[in-house]
C-alpha cells in the first residue's frame, strides 16, 4: 500500500466489500477534517469485526502529521457494561427504575406536542412470596427471569417494560386507539400467566395490572405511576378483574387499604380475632359430623370486618401465615375442651401448605393442646397445591401419617380437579357452594353433583356440599348421594359456646 493516497486506501475498503460507499465517504470526511485541523484531534470507530479503534492525529511543526491508532475494544466494552448495569436490573436484564423514568419523561414530553396518549402500567406478580417461601429464592429468581424474558419478547415499538424491584414491574405504551392499549395489556398478561417450568417445578404464575393514562388521569410521571399503582391494587383485591384502570376515588381506597393492613397486625397482637364454628351434618341421619372453623375479626372501631375484606389485605401485607398459625393453635385448643368428640375442619392457606415446617407445626399443636389427631381435618384448595404438586403431596402424606384427615375445599373451581383427586390422598371432597346455589335451576349443576358423588364413591372419599340454605337443596343433595351437608339451613357460624347444634350449644368440659 506504499504510495497510495488516504482516499485510495478508503476506496480500497469499499471495493473489497469491507464497507459501504456511504461508510467510506463518512470516514474519509471525518478524517479529512482532522487533518486540516491545526490542533489535531481524535476519531473513534467500530470495525466490522467488532473491534473498536481510536485514531489520534497530531500535527507537526513542518506541516506534516502523525496518526496513532489504538485498539480500545476492551475499554469500550467495560464502559458499555458499566453503563448497562447503571441503567438495567442485574437479575433480569430489564431496564431499571432510573432508566424507565428517563424514558417515560421523554415520551410524555413528546406526547404533549404530538397529542398522543401514554399509558403507564404497574405490574405485580400474584403469590410471588408463596413461591419464594415454598420453593426457595433461587426458584423465585429464575421465575422472575423467565417472566422478564417473556415480557420483553411481547413488547413492540412504542412499548417499554422495566423492573423496579422484587416482583414489581412497570411498563408504558404510546397509543392513539384504545384497542392498541388493550392488545398490549393482553400480551403482557399472557406472558405472565402461562405455566413456567423452573427446574423440576411447574409453576402457574399470575399477575395484577393497573393502568393510568396520560393526560386523562395525570399529566406528570410521578402522578401517573401513582395512579397506575392504585389501579393495580384494585386488581389484586378483585378475584375476577386482573386488569384495572385508574378511577377517581382510588386515592381514598389506597389510604384505607394501608390503614387496614396496619390494623391486621394490631388485631393479631391485641387478640381482636376470634373463631366461629359452622356445623356439618350427615345428609341422611342428620347427625353432627363436625364443624368448620371460620376466622372472624371484631375491630374496636370498624366493627365486624368480613373475611373477604381483610384476608386479601393479610396476604398482601404478609400477615396471613401468622394468622393461619393462630387459627390452628386456637381451634385445636378450644376443641380439646368440648364435651363432645366432633371433628373440626381448619383451612390452610397456600403459604402454610408450602412451608416445610407445617408438619412439625401440626404435630406440636396436637401435643400441646391434647386434641386427638383423628378430630382434626385440614382443608386445602386446589390452587394451594397446583404450584408444586410433588412437594404438596409429600407434605399431605406426612400430615395424614399423624392421623389427621385432609379435605379438598371449593372443589370444582380449581385448575385440574380430576387429576388432583387421583393424585392426592384426600379423605373428603367439599363441593363448592356455587353448585349448591344453582342446584334447583341448573341441570348442569345437578349433573356435576351427581358425577362428583359417583367419583367420590369410586375413590371411597366422602362428599360434603357447602352452602345449603333451603330444604329443597337438602332434599336434592341427599337424593343424589351426598354424604354430608353444611350451610345456613343448619345454623350460621357462631363463636365457641354459642353454636347451636339443634340440641345444645358447644360446651366446655367440666372438671
Strand 376-381 and strand 405-411: pairing?
A: parallel
Q: How far apart are CA 121 and CA 244, in angstroms?
A: 10
* Selection from 341, 321, 340, 317 nearest residue 329 by Cα: 321
pLDDT above 70 covers a percentage of the chain that reads 79
Cell output for 238:
378483585
Q: Count CA atoms within 13 Å of residue 60 on its CB side.
A: 5
CA nearest neighbour of 104 among 122, 84, 89: 122
Query: Among candidates 239, 225, 230, which has minimal Cα distance to 258?
Result: 230
Cα separation, 210 vs 193, whole angstroms = 16
Q: Which of 8, 69, 4 is CA-nearest to residue 34?
A: 69
* pLDDT tens, position by position, 339-365: 888 999 999 988 888 777 899 999 999
Nearest Cα neighbor of 275 from 323, 340, 216, 343 is 323
For domain 90-248, the question of CATH label 3.30.70.270 is answered with yes
Question: What pLDDT is recorded for position 510?
Answer: 46
Instruction: Report the first-to-last Cα separation within the chain, whole angstroms.
Output: 111
Residues 6+ positions from 233 with CB-CB distance below 8 Å = 208, 210, 253, 254, 257
Q: Cα separation of 418 and 64, whole Å?
A: 87
Band of residue 501 on the pLDDT scale cut at 50, 70, 90:
very low
User: Using DSSP, how many helices (H) and how many strands (E) does the chain show?
Assistant: 19, 20
Tell me the percentage of the chain whose pLDDT exceeds 90: 44
Banded model confidence at residue 137, pLDDT cuts 50, 70, 90: confident
Closest C-alpha among 118, 121, 100, 99 to residue 108: 118
User: 297 and 304 in contact (C-beta within 8 Å)?
Assistant: yes
DSSP state of 162: E
Question: What is the predicted pLDDT for the residue at 385?
Answer: 78
Calculate the dihedral angle through the C-alpha atoms of 463, 464, 466, 472, rounding to the nearest 10 degrees.
Answer: 90
Give the mean pLDDT of the chain: 83
pLDDT in tens, 195-220: 999 888 888 899 999 999 999 999 99
Decide if 211 contacts 181 (C-beta within 8 A): yes
What is d(CA 34, CA 52) in angstroms, rounded to the nearest whole number? 19
For residue 298, the model assigns a pLDDT of 93
| Torsion angle in degrees (nearest 10) through CA of 34, 40, 46, 52 | 160
What is the rounded average pLDDT of the residues 251-270? 84
Residue 504 cell numbers, joined: 345444645
40 vs 65: CA distance, rounded Å = 9
> Which of 220, 213, 222 is CA-nearest to residue 248?
213
Q: Which of 140, 303, 122 is nearest to 218 (CA)?
A: 122
Distances (CA, A) of 179 to 111, 176, 182, 253, 344: 18, 9, 5, 28, 51
Domain-wise residue ranges, the chain: 6-77, 90-248, 271-495
Can you tell me the distance from the alpha carbon of 474 to that of 491, in angstroms, rounded to the nearest whole number? 14
Position with higher pLDDT, 336 vs 446 = 336
CA 107 to centroid of chain Cα atoms? 29
Predicted confidence (pLDDT) per residue in 23-37, tens digit = 656 665 666 665 566
Q: What is the mean predicted confidence (pLDDT) over 1-15? A: 54
pLDDT single digits (tens) 290-326 = 999 999 999 999 999 999 889 988 887 888 889 999 9
* pLDDT beyond 70 at 13: no
Q: Model confidence at 503, in pLDDT bands (50, 70, 90)?
A: very low
Q: Which three-class secondary structure string do you get for 281-302?
A: EECCCCCEEEEEEEEEEEECCC
The pLDDT tens digits for 176-192 are 999 999 999 999 999 99
Contact 227, 212 (CB under 8 A): yes
- Mean pLDDT of all residues in 151-180: 93
The per-residue pLDDT for 452 is 86
At 276, is the pLDDT very low, low, confident or very high (cuts 50, 70, 90)?
A: very high
Calpha distance 103→162 (Å, rounded): 11
Please give the pLDDT value at position 258: 79
More confident residue, 45 or 178: 178
Q: What is the pLDDT of residue 21?
A: 59
| pLDDT tens per residue across span 367-377 | 999 999 999 99
Longest dimension (CA), the chain: 118
Q: Say if 90-248 and 271-495 have the same CATH topology.
A: no
Structural class in CATH, domain 271-495: alpha beta
What's the mean pLDDT in 103-129?
Answer: 92
Confidence of residue 284 (pLDDT cuts 50, 70, 90): very high
Amino acid at each position: 500500500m506504499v504510495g497510495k493516497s488516504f482516499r485510495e486506501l478508503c476506496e480500497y475498503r469499499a471495493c473489497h466489500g469491507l464497507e459501504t460507499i456511504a461508510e467510506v465517504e463518512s470516514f474519509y470526511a471525518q478524517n479529512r477534517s482532522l487533518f486540516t485541523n491545526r490542533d489535531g484531534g481524535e476519531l473513534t470507530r467500530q470495525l466490522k469485526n467488532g473491534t473498536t479503534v481510536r485514531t489520534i492525529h497530531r500535527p507537526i511543526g513542518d506541516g506534516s502529521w502523525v496518526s496513532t491508532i489504538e485498539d480500545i475494544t476492551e475499554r469500550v466494552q467495560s464502559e458499555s457494561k458499566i453503563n448497562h448495569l447503571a441503567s438495567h436490573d442485574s437479575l433480569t436484564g430489564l431496564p431499571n427504575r432510573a432508566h424507565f423514568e428517563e424514558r417515560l419523561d421523554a415520551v410524555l414530553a413528546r406526547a404533549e406536542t404530538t397529542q398522543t396518549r401514554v399509558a403507564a402500567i404497574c405490574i405485580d406478580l400474584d403469590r410471588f412470596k408463596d413461591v419464594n417461601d415454598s420453593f426457595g429464592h433461587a426458584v423465585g429468581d429464575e421465575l422472575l427471569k423467565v417472566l422478564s424474558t417473556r415480557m420483553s419478547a411481547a413488547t413492540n415499538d412504542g412499548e417499554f417494560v422495566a423492573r423496579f424491584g422484587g416482583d414489581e414491574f412497570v411498563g408504558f405504551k404510546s397509543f392513539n386507539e384504545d384497542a392498541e392499549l388493550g392488545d398490549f395489556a393482553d400480551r403482557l398478561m399472557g406472558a405472565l400467566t402461562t405455566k413456567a417450568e423452573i427446574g423440576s417445578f411447574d409453576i402457574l404464575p399470575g399477575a395484577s395490572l393497573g393502568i393510568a393514562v396520560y393526560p386523562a388521569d395525570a399529566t406528570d410521571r410521578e402522578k401517573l405511576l401513582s395512579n397506575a399503582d392504585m389501579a393495580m391494587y384494585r386488581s389484586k383485591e378483585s378475584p375476577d378483574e386482573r386488569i384495572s384502570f385508574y378511577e377517581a376515588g382510588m386515592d381514598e381506597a389506597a389510604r384505607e387499604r394501608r390503614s387496614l393492613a396496619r390494623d391486621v397486625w394490631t388485631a393479631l397482637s391485641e387478640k381482636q380475632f376470634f373463631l366461629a364454628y359452622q356445623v356439618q351434618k350427615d345428609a341422611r341421619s342428620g347427625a353432627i359430623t363436625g364443624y368448620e372453623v371460620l376466622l372472624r375479626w371484631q375491630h374496636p372501631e370498624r366493627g365486624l370486618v368480613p373475611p373477604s375484606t381483610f384476608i386479601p389485605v393479610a396476604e398482601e401485607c404478609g400477615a396471613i401465615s401468622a394468622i393461619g398459625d393462630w387459627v390452628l393453635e386456637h381451634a385445636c385448643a378450644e376443641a380439646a375442651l368440648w364435651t363432645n368428640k366432633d371433628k373440626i375442619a381448619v383451612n390452610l392457606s397456600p403459604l402454610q401448605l408450602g412451608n416445610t415446617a407445617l408438619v412439625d407445626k401440626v404435630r406440636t399443636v396436637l401435643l400441646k393442646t391434647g386434641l386427638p389427631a383423628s378430630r382434626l381435618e385440614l382443608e386445602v384448595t386446589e390452587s394451594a397445591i397446583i404450584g408444586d404438586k410433588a412437594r404438596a403431596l409429600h407434605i399431605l402424606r406426612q400430615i395424614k401419617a399423624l392421623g389427621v384427615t385432609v379435605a379438598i375445599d371449593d372443589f370444582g373451581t380449581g385448575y385440574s380437579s380430576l387429576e388432583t383427586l387421583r393424585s392426592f390422598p384426600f379423605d373428603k371432597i367439599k363441593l363448592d357452594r356455587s353448585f349448591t346455589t344453582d342446584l334447583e335451576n341448573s341441570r348442569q349443576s345437578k349433573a356435576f353433583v351427581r358425577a362428583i358423588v359417583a367419583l367420590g364413591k369410586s375413590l371411597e372419599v366422602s362428599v360434603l356440599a357447602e352452602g345449603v340454605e333451603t330444604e329443597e337443596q337438602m332434599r336434592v343433595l341427599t337424593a343424589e348421594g351426598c354424604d354430608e351437608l353444611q350451610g345456613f339451613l343448619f345454623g350460621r357460624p357462631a363463636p365457641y359456646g354459642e353454636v347451636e347444634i339443634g340440641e345444645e350449644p358447644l360446651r366446655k368440659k367440666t372438671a
